[in-house]
Structure 1
Amino acid sequence: MLTEAEKAATLWIQTGFTDRTVIQAAVAEPLLAGQSVVGVAPTGSGKTLAYGIPALSRLVPGAGLQLVIIVPAQELAIQIRDVLTPLAKTLGLGFQGLIGSANRERQVKKLREKPEAVVATLGRFVDLLEERKVVLEEVKTLIVDEFDSFEPDALRDILSFRRGGLPKQANLGLFSATDNPTIVSEFQAAWPDLQVINETSTDNSRGVVHHLLLDRQQAGKIQVLENLAREKHQRVFVFFNHKHVLQKVASELRFKHVPASMLVTDGRQVQRAEALQDFRSGRVPLLLTTDVAARGLDVADVTAVVNFELPDTLTTYIHRTGRTGRQGANGTVYNLGDDHDLRDLRKLVGDRVALETEPGEKKAYRKSAAHSAGADETRGVERQTGAGHRPGKRLTSAEEEAASAKKRKKKKQRWRNKKNVGKHW
């Protein structure tokens, strides 16, 4: 009979990864030993396998529900289910997804097969727990993925598991791309041995990511998306704060025959799945989404992130922009807004992120020759990294941009054929 460590080694071989990431190596031993950990590492650093493999390795076939993974979004639950189910089967374990939009009766029927592990959205899991369709008495490990995205009421529901039948010896795993000491302290009251493992500064899996500031009004923002979509081999997350703005932009892109998909929380499950599949496969270069809908999603080879509406917290900015520049690849972040918006973003990120001023733009916050020299350097870097800029004349004000957009529409010419538009954006 294999030991837990031997089981974990077998699963790592099955994944095909020869080297573990920093976070995977750091949390493996504590989780295998049944310790409680907070695992913080950049988006795309392999946190699902970091907790999934050691947690699965501790389970005993036929001993009831022993692993519960709680996540904030349905797509994230599906993603985790698809990643961990083959590994669970290797160990003779059942693994089930419990999400709110799926057929409840089919989920209850499958629960009768007594899976050893589940991944669930919180609302559906709490409903099933209250009706005793799932029980916590045999649970060995509770994982909360993207823990810092849950609302206070939701966190209280998760903490209530401790009083609702979760064994005292069950260990806890909190995982995310950003730390939240306030949330961690609340869980430490219930799990005093909770150990924080933050590998944000030591993780070296990230490539070079350029964070650009682009002064744009609405028409100019649409033009940025159109230009990106016309470039070859683009896979771009486009983030919004408000669903009505997202839907309006999607409509404008359809009018311009720009291929784009929408991922929103209240869409039908089939539609969301199709949108995500079209994006992952490369059939559609743009995925328009909100933070809640896209939280924790792992999509390979994301070339760029566009903040169509700028985030209002540093945590949100980090989660959004972490989707590009994964596994050593380079990436670009386009921050769109007016001068006031971009100033606020500079204050928001502080020294945490190196924001680059758009080449050719004369901004009030560029006050020295050193800034001008930096713009020349940035221009050269962008050409080297394929950010989509080409030599030529560029727009320098919202008025000129609006006039150019009107002219393009009137003449019904594609943006690549314009003399003064589309070569820089």
Structure 2
Amino acid sequence: MTNEEKAAQLWQQTGFAQQTVIQTAVAAPLLAGQSVAGVAPTGSGKTLAYGIPTLSRLTPGAGLQLVIIVPAQELAIQIRDVLTPLAKTLDLGFQGLIGSANRERQIKRLREKPEAVVATVGRFIDLLEEGKLRLDTVKTLIVDEFDSFEPEALADILSIRRGGLPQTANLGLFSATDSQAILGEFKAAWPELTLVDETKTDKSRGPVKHLLLDRQMTGKIQVLERLAREKHQRIFVFFNHKHVLQKVASQLRYQHVPASMLITDGRQVQRAEALQDFRSGKVPLLLTTDVAARGLDVADVTAVVNFELPDTLTTYIHRTGRTGRQGAPGTIYNLGNDHDLRDLRHLVGDRIALENEPGETKPTAKHQPANSATTSEPPAPSARKPRKKALTSAEEEEASAKKRKKRKERWRNKKNVGKHW
């Protein structure tokens, strides 16, 4: 059976009637052993795009031939679960090398000489340096979500090229956004690397609204409560800081709002349970960070909430790409004060159409005509109540500190009454 026939068999096994744009674009180059960087929207089927052609090139019993490196444990588990049945069809062994899993058990399974592995970078480098892995038979190195690795991790991945990887081994880089700087580093090691960017040609995205909601902390939590109580919701809630995530999770528990947490330093069993509860619909909210959720594929995500706004366009694209997949509608709720929302507008520029919260459209310097079809006439100033100026988090903390100081002073004064008389 030729490699092309193997690939056709695996595509038939997946049950997909039609391949996506990125799957069609990279299939032939990867089957031919060429090096490609595939960039396409989140949810466009990149795992199968590289998984099927690279598995089709492997030979049973010929040692380790395919290495897939990923930035997050959950992503490694997801890829392992998707590709293992396909590997079995071709009589290939497929193993996960995940940082939080039992190391000795992984070493024992490596003695069975799997033809393919998916690994988090730290665990892979450790096993490689200890001589538990050999690279001399590897045909393909895949780096998934290549733009999300820390510089140290990228350096480790590039060191694989010098650590015994055959010069004939081809490279596959995949992500939802590209990074010219990172691509340049890999191109220095693989000069034949070709970029295949399908972000503009992929039309699988459904209609997605990007809303701006002016909220402080209490108002943000109220948004989550309201969304969680609506029927048939599956919502990613993104945070920049773990301590904020944990504080919000605690308040949601107090309000009896069903939600799960996915954080990088949680126990693997807890993380797996949180993800399963979210995927199954048992809980409507998954509170997470970018690192913990990078690359996760969850079907039927109805909305994404940016509880803390991202500080890069790349992060915004990765987060928001989790809804509106395969033609389904989606909504993005961006929460913050006036300053935060202005910064977000500046960040995304003309790339994404951001809308003010329905019913609270603020007047700008240039209003549209009163009979415009897209906006309603702002209410007269006399009909509005004056709005308190939103405080930044630093101003809120300063105000709280002043209140605490005054309370202490009042307590001391009360305690010391009559002491010196």
**CA 1:277–1:80: 2 relative to 1, 3 Å:** same
* Alpha carbons 2:313, 2:348 under 8 Å: kept: yes
2:417 is matched with none
Q: CA deviation at 1:372?
A: 9.4
1:218 maps to a residue whose letter is: M
Q: Structure 1: how far apart are the matches of 2:20 and 2:341?
A: 34
Q: Structure 2: how far apart are the matches of 1:249 and 1:354?
A: 28
* Alpha carbons 2:211, 2:331 under 8 Å: kept: yes
Answering whether residue 281 of structure 2 is matched by residue 282 of structure 1, we say yes
Q: Structure 2: how far apart are the matches of 1:334 and 1:396?
A: 25
2:292 is matched with 293
Question: Bigger shift: 154-163 or 329-338?
Answer: 154-163
DSSP 3-state at the match of 2:113: coil
DSSP 3-state at the match of 2:186: helix
Q: Structure 1: how far apart are the matches of 2:219 and 2:279?
A: 26
Q: CA deviation at 1:374?
A: 6.9
1:346 maps to a residue whose letter is: R
User: What is the TM-score of this pair, normalised by structure 2?
Assistant: 0.88
2:238 is matched with 239
Q: CA deviation at 1:152?
A: 1.3
1:338 is matched with 337
DSSP 3-state at the match of 1:44: coil
Q: CA deviation at 1:398?
A: 6.3
2:61 maps to a residue whose letter is: G
Q: CA deviation at 1:396?
A: 9.3
Q: What aligned pairs does 1:363-382 form with structure 2 within 5 A after superposition?
A: 363=362, 365=364, 367-369=366-368, 373=372, 376=375
Q: What aligned pairs does 1:311-350 form with structure 2 within 5 A after superposition?
A: 311-350=310-349
Q: What aligned pairs does 1:39-54 form with structure 2 within 5 A after superposition?
A: 39-54=38-53
Q: Structure 2: how far apart are the matches of 1:268 and 1:395?
A: 49
What are the Cα deviations for residues 24-66 of structure 1, in whole angstroms up to 9, with x where unaligned?
A: 0000000000000000000000000000000000000000000
* Alpha carbons 2:368, 2:375 under 8 Å: kept: no
* Alpha carbons 1:305, 1:332 under 8 Å: kept: yes
Listed as ranges, the gaps of 5+ residues in structure 2 are: 377-383, 391-421
Q: Pairwise CA RMSD of aligned residues?
A: 1.8
1:407 is matched with none
Q: CA deviation at 1:365?
A: 4.4
Q: Structure 2: how far apart are the matches of 1:141 and 1:371?
A: 61
Q: CA deviation at 1:361?
A: 2.0
Q: Structure 1: how far apart are the matches of 2:128 and 2:341?
A: 46
What are the Cα deviations for residues 83-104 of structure 1, in whole angstroms up to 9, with x where unaligned?
A: 0000000000000000110000
**CA 1:328–1:395: 2 relative to 1, 3 Å:** farther
Q: What aligned pairs does 1:217-236 form with structure 2 within 5 A after superposition?
A: 217-236=216-235
Q: Structure 2: how far apart are the matches of 1:221 and 1:104?
A: 41
1:251 is matched with 250
* Alpha carbons 2:140, 2:170 under 8 Å: kept: yes
**Length, aligned pairs only:** 383
* Alpha carbons 1:69, 1:143 under 8 Å: kept: yes
**CA 1:60–1:144: 2 relative to 1, 3 Å:** same
DSSP 3-state at the match of 1:174: strand
1:31 maps to a residue whose letter is: L
**CA 1:356–1:160: 2 relative to 1, 3 Å:** same
Answering whether residue 205 of structure 2 is matched by residue 206 of structure 1, we say yes
Q: Structure 1: how far apart are the matches of 2:386 and 2:309?
A: 21
DSSP 3-state at the match of 2:200: coil
What are the Cα deviations for residues 246-305 of structure 1, in whole angstroms up to 9, with x where unaligned?
A: 000001101110000000000000000000000000000000000000000000000000
**CA 1:399–1:351: 2 relative to 1, 3 Å:** closer
Question: Bigger shift: 367-376 or 331-340?
Answer: 367-376
Q: Structure 1: how far apart are the matches of 2:251 and 2:369?
A: 39
Q: Structure 2: how far apart are the matches of 1:230 and 1:215?
A: 21
Q: CA deviation at 1:153?
A: 1.4
**CA 1:224–1:61: 2 relative to 1, 3 Å:** same
Answer with 1 or 2: which has the greater Rg. 2
Q: Structure 1: how far apart are the matches of 2:224 and 2:336?
A: 14
Q: Structure 1: how far apart are the matches of 2:265 and 2:370?
A: 44
**CA 1:7–1:74: 2 relative to 1, 3 Å:** same
Q: What aligned pairs does 1:101-250 form with structure 2 within 5 A after superposition?
A: 101-250=100-249
User: What is the TM-score of this pair, normalised by structure 1?
Assistant: 0.88
